[in-house]
Each structure stands twice: as C-alpha cells, then as structure tokens.
Amino acid sequence: MRYDLNLLPIFVALFEEKSVTRAAERLGMTQPAISNALARLRAMLQDPLFIRERYGIQPTPIALELAPVIAEALARLDDAVLGQQEFDPATAERHFTIAPNGYAEFVLVPAIVARLQSIAPGIRLRLTPYGSDLAETGVTSGTTAMVLGRITDPPDNLVVQHLMDEGLACVVRTGHPGIGETMSRAQFEALRHVNVVPPGRLRAGLFQALAQQRLKRDVALSVTNFFAVAEMVAVTDYCATLPALICRRLAHDPRLRVLPAPVDLGSFPVEMAWHVRYRHDPAHRWLRATVAGIIAEIQAGARKTDV
C-alpha cells in the first residue's frame, strides 16, 4: 500500500493539539485544508482517527496506537535528512523560538544574545512565555526550539538536559535598619517580604523550601517578574528571597545589599528541554551546545568571585 507522507505531520499535529484550529495555526494551513487532509487520513488508515467532542477532538484507539509509531518515523526521517546538512553559525540566517522562564530570561538570555551577536549575527531569537504548562510554550509540538528553566513531568517526546543547580539568597535595601552583615531567622520572620510570581515552578520550589525549614514569611507584595524586585526593595524595608545569580546581578546596585538566607534553603535545577525531532539537527545542536557553554561560563565566573 502506498502512503501519502505529507499527511503524517498533519496527523501528528492533530494528535498533539487535540484541535483542528490549533493544528491549522501550527502548520500554517487553513482549517478547511486540515479537514480535507483528515478525511484523506481516515480513508488511508481506514479509521475515524479523531472524534469531535465539546472541547476539541479526541483520538480513537487506533490513533493512540499509531501516534508513537508515526512520530518516531518522522523523527527518524528528520534525523536522516537534517544530519546530512551543514551549519555554519557565522553565515547562517535562522530564526529560533525559545521559551525561558523568568529566571532564565533575567540571568541567562542576555548572555546568550550577546554571544549570538558576536559569533552568529544572522541568528535571530524570539522569546515566548514559559508558564506552568509545557504545551503552551510550543516545545511539545516542536514549534519552539527549546525551553529553559525548571522542567517538571516532561512528556516522552522531550529530551531534558540538566544545566546547573541554583541556590537562594536574600536582598534588602542598603541601610536597612536593624540588619547587619547577616540575617537571623527571627529577623527574617519579622520582616515583610516581596514575592515573585510567576514563574509558578520556582514559586512552588521556594514555598516548599520555606515549609521544610518551617521558616515563616510575611508577604507584603507580590510582583510578576524579577525585574520589578530591585525597585520595590530599594524604596522599602522589605526583603526578597531570590536565586543566587539574580542576587549577584542586584549586588551591583548600590541601593541594595545581598545577604545569605538565614537557613539553608537548598537548590533548584536549571534545565533545557527540546523536542526529539531536533536531536540531530545541526543548527539546533549548535544552539544547545552554545547555551550549555554559556551557562558553564556563568557558573565558573560565579565560583571565582565566591573564592
């Protein structure tokens, strides 16, 4: 039997998106074209494949059985074709979409952009939000090149690489009354605090660390990103508990002072994840290696200043 291979990526998009509308947007096609392709898929595979329900479409048992086989076949085909292509970052003209969480956007992305400008001026980045749902970033469908942050419960079609572990420290304003070179547990609990939400995963990690240490925190203000924290802390007697590398950046602000947390709050992982179909794509491999190298340099620089 002869198969129309052009229909297989449409099958994968419908399976992953569970919506004709979203599949059409993802593939840059019209909804009628997707519906027509679905009709041809049904005839080719002799099964309804997807059943329309109130909030989208759901795969049939046959579709559930075929999905991993088709996805793996397409990934192998991508590997075979893309593995033969050469990639020269100095001359390449490419666009990549990446999804950093708030921490990665603050600490890592500026260094990534600076490096790309220097060694790969034709590479352009687009940042998309990284919330609590990996599917929303586009990485599970392959429309986003990578996510950077804390990856929890990744689906089987993502590859996850651990990049580093990050700790936590505290920030108060310079001249804060009653706070010396260190902060005691009692002082921490007596202060009012600035909380950062999102990113949700980091928020959960910090709250869990505080709970494990039975450390109380009186949250006076919640902000939506790390960029707002410096201004809020600089004009109040509030305290913020932040990732160590963010505190290192804020330490250059003369209005602010960085202190160790009063107890060991542990660490959280920083990871990178990408779709399996990009395992052997030379451009994607180069970008991932570049990002991992930059993070290793940032860590090495932090260790030197700690000595």
Q: What is the CATH number of the domain that holds 28?
A: 1.10.10.10
pLDDT, the chain, mean: 87
Do 75 and 153 lie in one domain? The reply is no
**Contact at 8 Å (CB) between 266 and 68?**
no
The verdict on 194 and 258 lying in the same domain is yes
Report the pLDDT averaged over residues 188-212: 77
Residue 88 in domain: no
Query: How long, in residues, is the chain?
Result: 307
* CATH label of the domain that carries residue 175: 3.40.190.10
- pTM for the model: 0.72
Query: Helix 31-45 vs helix 20-27: angle between axes, to the nearest 10 degrees?
Result: 110
pLDDT tens for residues 156-183? Answer: 889 999 999 999 999 999 999 888 889 9
Task: Specify if 180 maps to a domain.
Answer: yes
For residues 172 and 160, membership in a common domain is answered with no
* Distance, CA of 289 to CA of 127 (rounded, Å): 18
Domain count across the chain? 3
Residues 281 and 134 reside in one and the same domain: yes
For 142, the domain range is: 94-165+269-306
For residues 117 and 185, membership in a common domain is answered with no
Residues 157 and 27 in one domain: no
Whether residues 14 and 150 fall in one domain:
no
pLDDT at 241 over 90: yes
Both 151 and 287 in one domain: the answer is: yes
- Reported confidence tier of residue 307, pLDDT bands at 50, 70, 90: very low
Residue 200 confidence (pLDDT) above 50: no
Half-sphere exposure of residue 86, counting CA atoms within 13 Å on the CB side?
3
Based on the domain organization, do 139 and 278 belong to the same domain? yes
- pLDDT band at residue 80 under the 50/70/90 scheme: low
* The pLDDT of residue 127: 92
For 82-112, how does the pLDDT look when each residue is reduced to its tens digit (9 = 90+)?
555 678 899 988 889 999 998 899 999 999 9
Sign of the CA dihedral with 76 first, then 99, 131, and 219 last: positive
122 and 44 fall within a common domain: no
244-301 pLDDT, tens digit each = 999 998 999 999 999 999 999 988 899 999 998 888 888 999 999 999 999 999 888 7
Please check whether residue 131 lies inside any domain of the structure: yes
Q: Specify the pLDDT at position 198.
A: 61
Same-domain check for residues 218 and 69: no
Quickly state the pLDDT bin for 1 (edges 50, 70, 90): low
Give the residue from 39, 54, 82 where a domain finishes.
82
| Position 257 in a domain | yes
82, two tokens: 């893309």
Q: Which pLDDT does position 85 carry in this prediction?
A: 61
Ordered DSSP codes for 260-271: E-SS----EEEE
Please tell me whether residues 138 and 200 are part of one structural domain. Answer: no
